[in-house]
Amino acid sequence: MSVPTIELDDGYTIPQLGFGVFQIDPDDTAQAVQTALEIGYRHIDTAEMYQNERGVGEGVRNSGVDRADVYITSKLNNSFHKPDDARRAFDETLTKLGSDYVDLFLIHWPLPTLYDGDFVSTWRTLEEFKKDGRARSIGVSNFQIDHLERLARETEFTPAVNQIEAHPYFTNDTVRGYGAEHGIVTEAWSPIAQGKVLGDPVVTRIAEAAGRTPAQVVLRWHIQRGDIVFPKSVTPQRIKENLALFDFELGDDDIQALTALDKGEAGRTGPNPDVFDYLPS
Ligand SMILES: NC(=O)c1ccc[n+]([C@@H]2O[C@H](COP(=O)([O-])OP(=O)(O)OC[C@H]3O[C@@H](n4cnc5c(N)ncnc54)[C@H](OP(=O)(O)O)[C@@H]3O)[C@@H](O)[C@H]2O)c1
């Protein structure tokens, strides 16, 4: 069962399904990543703020899979948006991963209420990493349309991706639509809303009819919408289940029924990027 790839605006390709490691204990990360790679995943999504990049690097090395065959994403810590801090933090990411490049590096949050609203100089710093080849692709996360428009006006590169919260309770279709029109691929974070959508009667009805699990149905909905997903699990059976998405298809009616579960802003499980201002100490 092979995972499709998506071509990014900069010519690189990314596997549409990966493995997320948010909230995996640093001590457990190497084993979880190794398990995922053994099961067949080839795309890992981490971040400086998850504090488990070292485990990701270790898991890849322990798996015996070539670094070149694994797509690795990391993201800038909110505390390091100033250019010199971002440069130091990016060096640290590469050291922790034990790699001389990342496939994709993101600004984790726009933080429009901090740093005088200046995520533009942060983005220009990521452009340096792209130019020197240490980040093959660069992108953003949790950017709203006005943030993306500002980058379009004031900077050189278009973000290859925008990683945003999206699932049936919060489809986030306006931001997704802007991305689709501007060559920015959407990555959907918390794709199963950290489990909250799995008991929904619409989800369980479609899952029963398809002979699939609720998680598979929701993840397949994302795949058919064309987004990139990386569900997180530390449970080997679930890690396996979440990869088995490419031997069935949902009909248009099912896709529409899942999309109709959208609750708008009330459906968010995470913070609103316009006001989120968390800085780790
Ligand atoms: N850019 C951002 O700001 C941002 C924010 C949040 C997340 N992310 C990224 O998106 C990834 C995924 O999001 P997430 O970790 O928040 O949530 P998620 O993938 O939507 O859900 C993870 C939760 O669902 C459970 N689960 C996983 N597979 C399951 C299955 N087949 N059946 C039942 N339960 C299942 C997991 O439990 P167990 O682990 O106990 O099995 C875990 O509690 C993250 O790991 C991270 O890489 C990015």
Per-residue confidence (pLDDT) for residue 136, from 0 to 100: 98
The residue whose CB lies within 8 Å of the most ligand 1 atoms, and thus the one to mutate among 189, 212, 277, is 189
The answer on pLDDT for 1 being more than 70 is: no
* Annotation marks residue 50 as catalytic: yes
Angle (nearest 5°) at CA 149 between 126 and 105: 25
Average pLDDT over residues 72-80: 99
Is the separation of the CB atoms in 259 and 251 below 8 Å? no
Residue 241: CB within 6 Å of ligand 1? Answer: yes
Cβ neighbors of 35 (< 8 A, separation 6 or more) are: 236, 239
pLDDT band at residue 281 under the 50/70/90 scheme: confident
The answer on pLDDT for 58 being more than 70 is: yes
Tens of pLDDT, residues 173-209: 999 999 999 999 999 999 999 999 999 999 999 999 9
Residue 235: CB within 6 Å of ligand 1? Answer: yes
Residue 231: CB within 6 Å of ligand 1? Answer: yes
Angle (nearest 5°) at CA 173 between 170 and 174: 120
Q: What is the CA radius of gyration of the chain?
A: 18
Average pLDDT over residues 114-132: 98
Ligand 1 centroid, distance to 229 Cα (angstroms): 10
Ligand 1 centroid, distance to 232 Cα (angstroms): 4
Whole-angstrom distance, CA of residue 215 vs CA of residue 229: 12
Residue 244: CB within 6 Å of ligand 1? Answer: no
Average pLDDT over residues 37-45: 98
User: Which residues are 163's β-sheet partners?
Assistant: 141, 187
Tens of pLDDT, residues 90-109: 999 999 999 999 999 999 99
Ligand 1 centroid, distance to 191 Cα (angstroms): 7
Residue 78: CB within 6 Å of ligand 1? Answer: no
Please, what is the average pLDDT of the chain?
98
**Torsion sign over Cα 152, 157, 158, 161:** negative
Ligand 1 centroid, distance to 53 Cα (angstroms): 17
Average pLDDT over residues 85-91: 98
Tens of pLDDT, residues 137-179: 999 999 999 999 999 999 999 999 999 999 999 999 999 999 9
Instruction: Select which of 12, 41, 50, 169 is catalytic.
Output: 50
